Chain A
Amino acid sequence: MAIDGNQRAPIRNFMPQLRRDVAWRIILFQFIVSGLIAVTLILSSVLSVESILLWTIVGVSFVISLFFEFSLAFYVARPTKDLMAALTHVAGEPTTTTPPNPNDSRFIKNGFSDALQTIYELAGHESDGSSIKTTESSDKEIPVVPSTDSVKAALNNTTCGFVVLNHERKVIYHNKAAPIRVDTDNVESLELIFSGVDTIDSWLNECEQNSVHAEHIWTRIPNRMPDADDRRFFDVIASYDKGSDNETVLTLVDRTNLYDIGEQELDFIAFAAHELRGPITVIRGYLDVLQDELNAVLEPDQRELFHRLTVSANRLSGYINNILNTSKYDRRHLKVHLAEDNIADIYDVIRDDMQLRADSQGRILSVNFPADLPTIAADRASISEVLGNLIDNAIKYSNEGGAINVTASVKGNFVEVSVEDFGIGMPGNVVSNLFQKFYRSHRSRETVAGTGIGLYISKGIIESHGGTIGVRSEEGKGSTFTAALPIYSTVADKLISGDNNNEGLIEHGNGWIKNHSMYRG
């Protein structure tokens, strides 16, 4: 294998060399044959040297034969090429080609798949031989390798977990530190909770289809549910080796110390939110009660003061939700539960609050959703939070008496909600930083109160829905924020198969990412 020290020519160089050798031999051979044909025709006086027909025949036969010979050579050399590709791969040489798949229908048809399978299996056995976890056979051959028992004892002394799975994915070895669950039938299985679609099973499925050797790393994988005793977090490194007895080897690094701090912080924020929400509940509740009961005796200006109190208390409770969700989002704990919903119903949740807020700040809020909009896939609480944030911003960054228009329209597979204001707007360099955490433009820092997490979490929430958020703005003219959410019918299949979680909905590059799978509580 490639690990030995001998200076050998790389296996991958063989095929190009063979191809060159065969090519120049074919061409040389064809020159000789064509020459012989020409000489024969001239000597037998069928055609003269000056005859155009003679050279045409020679030329055409040269080209046609060349074509057929190259085709034949290609066909004959193809199994060799596949063999060399497989060898190159098992030898571990760097290569850009994918290894030939024994399950390819072409190989099954011509019976070549067994040969490929054998190569992969032999390669698998060879790497067993070099591993230290071997049994009797290597004990005889290589006496320097420590005995199995002492290796096992040594592995049990480490804080790293080691687990070996066979090709049926059964646990055939694990050391002490590995998180293993034993069920009532005494069957051992991995005790790890993978979140999202990037699970070990899905990775192994992919390996079985496409790979001979593969490696994959997961981080921050817990072994138990939150609040369970002895909950630990692991970074998991998996190596896959097709056909080997020890097909999958997992190395688990216990990172509880590192990740648990984040969890405790989240606990702290959850408790802090609980404490803050108590007084807010009372303030909002009694304002509600008092406003009702005093309605008859209040002067108009006193009523306006009540409105201001209500608006402020409501905003406070909105900020707490923003803080909680940001904290969860940063720890990849924010999980949105998507259901079929329509934008007008979602807005109804915050309608009164928004209207009151706009009125008390002297903005003219007009909300018009077309009646025929398709339904969307949304988490109602989260999307109402986003709409609240966008409208709140529009109020903050516009002027007394300014209009704020909220509407929605269909854009491809999405319903796009837009919040338009005619306020101070922003220059281009501000727009590019706008959705970053704690970002606040220089000017707004001086003049407008805020935390700088509203747009950050709004973006997180919209992207967790598989949507996009954006802004168009012109300094001095105003801004339009847009949030596009997928039409329910376009994602219904994915949602139903995924138990209505957002996992699998967020497309990123070539694959699905699931790092927004957050626990929404």
Chain B
Amino acid sequence: MAIHSILCIEDDRFIGEMYIRSLQKAGYTVDWVVDGNDGLIAARNQPYDLILLDVMLPERRGTEILDALRGGSEDLIPNTKVIVLTNFEQDDESRMAMQKHADAYLIKAEITPKKLIEVIEQLASN
């Protein structure tokens, strides 16, 4: 599955701009929203190829967004990949619950933009 369009849900301005800059340079089309409510609306309104999802978000947590999109009986975004990107140490249960519905779960501090693009390319080739 080729990946072209990306939705980035990230509330930290520095981190958000960093991802946008690198992803756009690498040729992706990126939309960026900073709060959880807008993130969920954007994800439901437009069929993105990939969503980069933060966990600690204002208005609505990443866990809730993922749950709303994929937690029900029907997968609302069947053609979209999801990468959870967080710096928060979740407890085991919450992390496992997110991993179940996501295509990757990464700690932001461990991932540079270059590595993120590698992960995206790998997801696209699977």
Contact = CB atoms under 8 A, between A and B. Distances in A.
- Please determine whether chains A and B interact with each other in the same assembly: yes
Contacts of A292: 114
B5 to A, nearest CB: 22
A284 interface: yes
Contacts of A280: 109
A337 to B, nearest CB: 8
Name B's interface SS.
helix
A317 interface: yes
B109 A226 contact: no
B25 to A, nearest CB: 9
Interface in A204-253: 225-227
A409 B32 CA distance: 48
Interface stretch (A56-64, A99-107, A271-279, A367-375): A271-279
B112 A277 contact: no
A278 B92 contact: no
A270 to B, nearest CB: 4
B18 A285 contact: yes
B37 to A, nearest CB: 21
Interface string B18-39: 1101100000000000000000
B115 to A, nearest CB: 8
A126 interface: no
Question: How many A residues are at the interface, by size bracket?
Answer: 20 to 34
B91 interface: yes
A274 B87 contact: yes
Interface string B53-65: 0001000000000
Given A289-B113, A317-B110, A273 B87 contact: yes
Interface string A262-293: 00000001100110011011101111110010
B109 A281 contact: yes
A303 interface: no
A324 interface: yes
A338 to B, nearest CB: 14
A374 B88 CA distance: 34
A285 B112 contact: yes
Contact of A335 (B12, B88, B92): B92
B18 A286 contact: yes
A282 B15 contact: yes
Interface string B78-116: 000000000111111111000000000001111111100
A107 B93 CA distance: 48
Contacts of A226: 91, 93
Question: How many B residues are at the interface, by size bracket?
Answer: 20 to 34
Given A278-B15, A282-B15, A289-B18, A320 B91 contact: no
B56 to A, nearest CB: 7
A285 B19 CA distance: 8
A181 interface: no
B90 A281 contact: no
Contact of A320 (B18, B109, B112): B109
A412 interface: no
A521 interface: yes
A31 interface: no
A277 B107 contact: yes
Contacts of A289: 18, 21-22, 113
B8 to A, nearest CB: 13
A225 B93 contact: yes
A333 B92 CA distance: 9
Interface in A287-333: 287-289, 292, 317, 320, 324, 333
B112 A284 contact: yes
A288 B113 contact: yes
A74 B10 CA distance: 82
Given A273-B87, A286-B18, A521 B94 contact: yes
B114 A284 contact: no
Nearest to A270: B89
A289 B91 CA distance: 32
A284 B92 CA distance: 26
Given A282-B14, A285-B18, A317 B109 contact: yes
A520 interface: yes
A304 B112 CA distance: 19
B123 to A, nearest CB: 17
29 contacts: A226-B93, A227-B94, A273-B87, A273-B88, A274-B89, A277-B87, A277-B107, A277-B109, A278-B12, A278-B87, A280-B109, A281-B12, A282-B15, A282-B18, A284-B112, A285-B15, A285-B19, A285-B22, A286-B18, A287-B112, A288-B22, A289-B113, A292-B114, A317-B109, A324-B89, A335-B92, A519-B93, A521-B92, A521-B94
The 3 A-B residue pairs whose C-beta atoms are closest, nearest first, are A519-B92, A277-B87, A288-B112
Interface of B: 12, 14-15, 18-19, 21-22, 56, 87-95, 107-114
Given A227-B91, A281-B15, 11 more contacts: A270-B88, A273-B87, A278-B87, A281-B111, A282-B12, A282-B18, A292-B114, A519-B92, A520-B92, A521-B94, A521-B95
